[in-house]
Amino acid sequence: MRREANSHASRLMCYDWIDKPPKDCSMNIHPIVIIWLLCAGPAWGALGAWSLPRIYRRKGLEDAPARFIGGMAGLTLGPLALAPLWRFTPDLRRWYWSGGTGVLVAIELYGVFALLNPNNLCVINIGYVTDQVANGLTIGFIYALIAIGLTLIYSVQGVVSFAHGQFYMLGGYVSYYFLQLFVDVNPIVGIPVAGLATMLIGFAFERLFLRPMHQGRIERAGEYAILITFGLGFFLEYTVLAAVGPFSQKAPAFTLMRVLNIGPLSLLPNRLVAGGVGILLTLALLYLLYRTWLGKALRAVSMDKQAAAVVGINPLTMNTLSFGIGTMLAGMAGAALIPVFTWVPWVGGPSAIRSFVIIVLGGMGSVPGAFIGGLIIGLVEALGAGCYPDPSKGAAYKTAFGLVIFAVMLLLRPTGLFGRES
């Protein structure tokens, strides 16, 4: 009787509650996927990541990228790639910076996904895939802009600002209420206004609360920096919540055009404008850092504060400047996205988490790493949400896809893509 009841229950699970045909409960795995799991796949990737650095260290060679290359090579080609690496131990720097292993992993995982989900839109409609890639890149430029501001603060001051997401939120609201006062101007004008407002707040906060830490007047500076920036984030979020309420707001669109068709691509114009803002501001920051005296002073302080002081650079001034520029970039990113997304006072929390993921992925203190990391997270989130088998759940899991990449990077290269061993 019990066996029959269990059999009857298992048959019921193959039916929907509404009158629909029975589901196929059999687990059909493509033979090629089984072959891939045996000849390559995660097991070989773990073996490569574990063994290759040990072989390089035993031979007295540089092993910095060995874990990453070993993991990627094992995942894609298994022993076919690992055996030559174990035997000949070539210089891995060219392998690492070429990005070939990462591209091969992406192609191979896409092939496995296509075998398991042959009817998915990302498999049968290449135009849909290109649209997702384009949208992921445009939003990735804004992600990169937010993360660049955070990594600039960290590289100069050695402080991780836990209020960075709230400055992003504040920039959006400054732009929104500015546009409410001047209804005839294009929303693009609200971006520099938001940047100026958040920069001034950043200057004032750093001067009042963080400078005493750098002057040696705070005993436990690390804990103080965490608590004071965390407290600032709470203060900004709940002050805005008390002032404007919990109701969602959205600024007017940059353009009334709904879809922009460029060849096979169908782009969202407002996201495209936001992405263009991210590109322009990133290029402007790179010009400041690498082509001006002020940028060279910031980089000098990030490398060695005492040496910078010897040649006449005031580290305290550079600290204030870096915090102000970082908060300005976050505020301008928020102003660029409020015409795209609806805005609430707690919108900064997820953005802060995403920024932390990006700067660790790219390498702590690396501006190019933050830029590349932002693009990677934007692509992964867009493709993950768009290609997930159940579209109703894909958007809800969007942040989780980025966290998976983050976890893999911590396992294979804890210093990040562009990070250096301390």
pLDDT tens per residue, range 192-215 = 999 999 999 999 999 999 999 988
pLDDT tens per residue, range 332-377 = 999 999 999 999 999 998 888 899 999 989 888 888 889 999 999 9
The average pLDDT across 208-230 equals 90
By C-alpha distance, which of 32, 31, 13 is closest to 23?
Answer: 13
CB atoms within 10 A of CB 223: 10
Q: What whole-number distance in Å separates Cα of residue 375 and Cα of residue 380?
A: 9
342: tokens are 């609806």
Q: What whole-number distance in Å separates Cα of residue 302 and Cα of residue 290?
A: 13
- How many CA atoms are closer than 13 Å to the CA of 204, on its beta-carbon side? 7
**Domains, in order of start, for the chain:** 31-116 (no CATH), 122-412 (1.10.3470)
Straight-line distance from the first to the last Cα atom of the chain, in angstroms, rounded to the nearest whole number: 66
pLDDT of residue 222: 84
Task: Check pLDDT > 80 for residue 30.
Answer: no
Q: What whole-number distance in Å separates Cα of residue 64 and Cα of residue 68?
A: 8
Helix (H) or strand (E) run with residue 240 in it: helix 221-244
The phi and psi torsions of 37 (rounded to 5 degrees) equal: -65, -30
Q: How many residues does the structure list for the chain?
A: 422
pLDDT of residue 119: 87
More confident residue, 110 or 278: 278
pLDDT of residue 156: 92
pLDDT of residue 228: 94
228: tokens are 């004071």
Q: What whole-number distance in Å separates Cα of residue 355 and Cα of residue 17?
A: 42
The average pLDDT across 285-290 equals 93
More confident residue, 301 or 364: 301
The average pLDDT across 414-420 equals 79
More confident residue, 389 or 101: 389
Residue at 381: amino acid letter: E
Q: What whole-number distance in Å separates Cα of residue 172 and Cα of residue 351?
A: 13
Chain centroid, CA 344 distance in Å: 21
List, in sequence order, the alpha helices (H) in 18-125.
31-39, 41-58, 66-77, 79-88, 93-98, 100-116, 121-124
